[in-house]
């Protein structure tokens, strides 16, 4: 049976805030109190990650760490909750922090405008959240984060490929080892083993949000619009991610990316409130003869560009 990482205090003075009254009718006053005391870290604030934050803010989560180095581009407007023509060039983490505070002024929010990589991972994760949501669209960084969560049994939900999809009814969740027909899941499984020595057949409770819808490829006749000096967004060149480095840019739709995000938010909320059906603590079973890496930082390795290109999570 799953246990919430945030035990209730049973304080007789706790009162459900009026904006979260309907949450209390689902999760009870103790559940609302747990959410108010919980700390969630969301990594990646694109179409999926921004929806995660929106859902958790309205669920009443009391503390957020929002991690994204990126700034709003006009091409984000079709699906990302912080993106408007007027916000082009602004930091995504700062915008989502402001949005959380607008929903719940009592929430504590830290915006971290840092790229997650080997040299920054320890500092970012030292904030010790109760749950991490992985909405990163860089495969190398995603692999390192998931390997770290597996080795350290950190509660985590990962979002897989939302690009090139149009049917929100096909979005679901499962153990990462049980996902199917998702190209990103395939490359994650392969590289967790190749780079970190993790056999996902021996990892349970690694929750993944995915869709088994066949990927829709973009029309090859469309112009390939790259980041560049002519881009109206003010942050070119992008230090870590830029369409200059991509051979394919897949289409994305808010009615799919938001369902990915809200599904992840549901899993986190249910875990934090003690739903026995949801356990987000990954468990690695190590057998004699296994040789998994114990320190993921030792094995940070860039995934080849063709794999980054092919397996976009949501960009």
The pLDDT value given to residue 13: 78
Q: Is 272 within the bounds of a domain?
A: yes
Question: Which domain, by its residues, includes 83?
Answer: 21-310
Mean pLDDT for 112-127 is 95
Q: Is 16 within the bounds of a domain?
A: no
The pLDDT value given to residue 61: 99
pLDDT at 146 over 70: yes
Please answer whether residues 183 and 161 qualify as being in contact, where contact means their C-beta atoms are separated by less than 8 angstroms: yes
User: Which helix H or strand E contains 40, and what residues bound it?
Assistant: strand 39-43
What is the per-residue pLDDT across 268-303, written as a single tens digit (0 to 9) for each?
Answer: 999 999 999 999 999 998 776 666 566 676 666 666
The pLDDT value given to residue 118: 87
The residue that leads in pLDDT, 297 or 132, is: 132
Please answer whether residues 135 and 49 qualify as being in contact, where contact means their C-beta atoms are separated by less than 8 angstroms: yes
pLDDT at 26 over 90: yes
| Percent over 90 (pLDDT), the chain | 74
The residue that leads in pLDDT, 248 or 210, is: 210
What is the per-residue pLDDT across 218-247, written as a single tens digit (0 to 9) for each?
Answer: 888 887 666 555 565 655 555 555 555 556
Please answer whether residues 183 and 216 qualify as being in contact, where contact means their C-beta atoms are separated by less than 8 angstroms: no
Average pLDDT value over all residues in the chain: 89
The pLDDT value given to residue 256: 98
The residue that leads in pLDDT, 247 or 54, is: 54
Q: Is 13 within the bounds of a domain?
A: no
- When mean pLDDT is compared across 108-117, 192-201, 230-239, 271-280, the lowest value belongs to 230-239
pLDDT at 310 over 60: no
pLDDT at 308 over 90: no
List the structure tokens of 50. 């921004």
What is the per-residue pLDDT across 59-104, written as a single tens digit (0 to 9) for each?
Answer: 999 999 999 999 999 999 999 999 999 999 999 999 999 999 999 9
Q: Is 3 within the bounds of a domain?
A: no
> What is the C-alpha to C-alpha distance for residues 52 and 33, in angstroms, rounded to an integer?
20
The pLDDT value given to residue 1: 46
Q: Is 12 within the bounds of a domain?
A: no
Residues 6+ apart with CB under 8 A from 5: 38, 130, 131, 155, 271, 272
Phi, psi angles (nearest 5°) of residue 236: -70, 145
* Helix residue ranges per DSSP H, the chain: 21-37, 47-59, 92-103, 118-125, 139-152, 183-196, 254-272, 305-310
Q: What is the CATH number of the domain that holds 253?
A: 3.40.50.720
Report the number of distinct structural domains present in the chain. Answer: 1
Q: Is 11 within the bounds of a domain?
A: no
Q: Is 9 within the bounds of a domain?
A: no
Mean pLDDT for 158-187 is 95
What is the per-residue pLDDT across 259-268, written as a single tens digit (0 to 9) for each?
Answer: 999 999 999 9
The pLDDT value given to residue 278: 96
Mean pLDDT for 30-35 is 96
Q: Is 7 within the bounds of a domain?
A: no
Phi, psi angles (nearest 5°) of residue 67: -115, 115
């Amino acid at each position: 049976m799953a246990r919430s990482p945030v035990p209730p205090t049973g304080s007789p003075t706790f009162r459900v805030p009026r904006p979260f009254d309907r949450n209390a009718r689902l999760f009870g006053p103790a559940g609302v109190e747990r959410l108010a005391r919980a700390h969630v870290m969301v990594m990646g604030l694109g179409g999926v990650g921004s929806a995660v934050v929106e859902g958790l803010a309205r669920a009443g989560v009391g503390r957020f760490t929002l991690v994204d180095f990126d700034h709003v581009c006009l091409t984000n407007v079709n699906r990302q909750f912080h993106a408007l023509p007027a916000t082009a060039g602004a930091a995504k983490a700062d915008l989502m922090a402001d949005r959380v505070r607008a929903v719940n002024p009592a929430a504590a929010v830290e915006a971290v405008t840092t790229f997650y990589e080997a040299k920054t991972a320890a500092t970012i994760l030292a904030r010790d959240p109760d749950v991490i949501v992985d909405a990163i669209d860089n495969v190398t960084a995603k692999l390192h984060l998931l390997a770290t969560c597996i080795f350290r049994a950190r509660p985590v939900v990962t979002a897989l490929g939302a690009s090139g999809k149009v049917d929100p009814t096909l979005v679901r969740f499962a153990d990462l080892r049980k996902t199917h027909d998702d190209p990103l899941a395939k490359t994650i499984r392969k590289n967790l083993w190749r780079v970190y020595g993790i056999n996902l057949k021996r990892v349970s409770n690694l929750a993944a949000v995915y869709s088994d819808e066949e990927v829709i490829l973009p029309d090859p006749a469309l112009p390939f619009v790259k980041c560049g000096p002519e881009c109206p967004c003010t942050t070119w060149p992008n230090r870590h991610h830029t369409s200059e480095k991509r051979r394919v840019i897949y289409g994305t739709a808010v009615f799919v990316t938001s369902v990915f995000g809200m599904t992840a938010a549901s899993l986190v909320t249910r875990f934090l409130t003690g739903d026995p059906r949801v356990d987000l603590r990954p468990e690695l079973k190590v057998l004699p003869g296994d040789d998994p890496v114990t320190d993921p930082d030792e094995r940070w390795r860039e995934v080849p560009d063709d794999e980054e290109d092919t397996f976009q999570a949501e960009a």
